[in-house]
Amino acid sequence: MSETDEELLRRVMDATASLWNELTYERRQQFFDGETVWETEDYRKRYIGVLGSASAQQAIRKNDQAWKGFFNSDEPDKGLPGYWGNEEDGRDLRWYGRNDQYTIQWGERSRLEIPIGKGLKDEYDLTGRLRLEVRGDPRWGGEQGQLEIQYDEQRDQFRAYQPVEVADSHPRLGAPLADESAALDIGANNLVACTTTTGKQFLYAGRDQFERFRATTREIARLQSKLREGRYTSKRIRRLYRKRIKRRDHMQDALARDLMERLCDEGVSTVYVGALTDVLETHWSVRANEKTHNFWAFRAFIDRLETTAEEFGIEVIERTEAWTSQECPRCGSTERTTRHQDTLTCECGFEGHADLVASKTFLQRHAMVARPMARPVRFEWDAHEWAESSHSHESPKEARTNPQVASGGWGANARRDPTGGIPRL
């Protein structure tokens, strides 16, 4: 897009964030004072010159939904609706448009048109709507719903999300090409271990991301210790908090999309994921709880999975995964097994990759796994996308571990690749 178009879009999105923050601040103050949060100033009139009446009202409605979600939530740890950054440190740039507020034309030169306020039109001597070039192709076709535009700071890109309503007769909503299933083990070290009934296994590594998260957390603590008495934060601390969260969210968004694309290619229509209570009970150590609660943000990730899965016609079902991380797939014992880092061993002689074993055991509880397992595929995050690793970085102990090779056996003698371990693809 042109520099002028980008400047206009940024101003519209910044005004949306400013409206959100002002309304959120007033409602938080009312909440703490024990007053109703629904009687507020008319922020629509305050921002109508930049956003236009309909766009301002749409932002207010989104804020209403956030507060209603808070009051209706049975998970109080999710907290009050928060702010979208601030003017000094930078805001989270977003814009919401009702289904009848915008138009998208697809073709060789696809374009999106959104409304802007009269004050902004007069300032830039514009008539009509703001026209923006669009890249990409729609995955679905149908009656358009609410549009959301976000600015991806990591990639310096604007992204548009458009839900559509399709008829029940739509080809992608009919009988799936295959009726395959998958199960996910969400762990503290490896973010996701996935096993499918087609015999595929995927592993998304998480140690490097968590250590980076912890390093930022330590730096925040160091800066807080240097604040003078009575102060609790600073511009630099707030910037680090925002940077830490944005990096995590960007990584999780990309993981959900990469995984669902692969599962769709496998013909998977159902994905089983562990219930929240199972995760909290299993990851009991201080370090693991730090990963589960702070870094991993389990509930938020499940929401991302479900939202992304909808685009592919995949259903996400939460089920108990109790003891899957301790159960030996060879003898079925949960008392004779020992887990050390990524390795699960049993007194019966079994040795395998703990998270991949757990995901397969979890899947077997809910679906038939008849095919032999192919060699697992490992993915690592490079700060922009999830890529297959080029070579193994496993420890010598893990190199001796057979995480289920193409023969389908779970024993340590079923090896085929002399390098061992899980390939970094």
Same domain, 204 and 120: no
**Tens digit of pLDDT for each residue in 307-341?**
888 878 888 988 887 778 788 888 888 888 888 87
Please report whether residue 418 resides in a domain: no
Q: Is there a single domain that holds both residue 138 and residue 265?
A: no
How would you classify the pairing of strands 377-381 and 85-86?
Answer: unpaired
- Percent composition of the chain: helix, strand, coil (DSSP 3-state, to 5): 40, 20, 40
Q: Domain containing 77: what range?
A: 3-165
* Ramachandran category for residue 113: left, alpha or beta (phi over 0 → left; psi -120 to 50 → alpha): beta
The better pLDDT of the pair 321, 52 is held by 52
For β-strands 351-353 and 343-346, DSSP reports them as antiparallel
Higher pLDDT: 129 or 325? It is 129
Banded model confidence at residue 177, pLDDT cuts 50, 70, 90: low
pLDDT above 70 covers what percent of the chain? 80
- Residue 341 counted as domain residue: yes
Q: Which residues contact 258 (CB under 8 A, 6 or more apart)?
A: 379, 385, 386
How many domains, the chain?
2
List, for residues 359-386, the tens digit of each pLDDT value.
999 998 888 876 778 888 999 988 778 9
Q: How confident is the model at residue 24 (pLDDT cuts 50, 70, 90)?
A: very high
* Residue 232 within any structural domain of the chain: no
22 pLDDT exceeds 60? yes
Residue 124, domain member (yes or no) = yes
- Reported as a single tens digit per residue, the pLDDT across 218-274 is 898 899 899 888 888 888 888 888 888 888 888 888 899 999 999 998 999 999 998
**Domain assignment present for 286:** yes
163, with CB counted inside 10 A (0-12, 13-18, 19+), is middle
Residue 425 lies in a domain: no
3-state secondary structure of 105: strand
Q: Using an 8 Å Cβ cutoff, are 342 and 358 in contact?
A: no
- With H, G, I as helix, E, B as strand and everything else as coil, classify residue 357: helix
**Is the CB of residue 191 less than 8 Å from the CB of residue 208?**
no
- The answer to the question of residue 421 being in a domain is no
* Band of residue 294 on the pLDDT scale cut at 50, 70, 90: low
pTM of the model: 0.60
Do 134 and 195 fall into the same domain? Answer: no
Q: Categorize the per-residue pLDDT at 183 as very low, low, confident or very high, splitting at 50, 70 and 90.
A: very high
Q: Where among 165, 190, 222 does a domain terminate?
A: 165
Report the amino acid identity of residue 323.
W
Residues 6+ apart with CB under 8 A from 116: 8, 12, 50, 51, 52, 55, 126, 129, 130
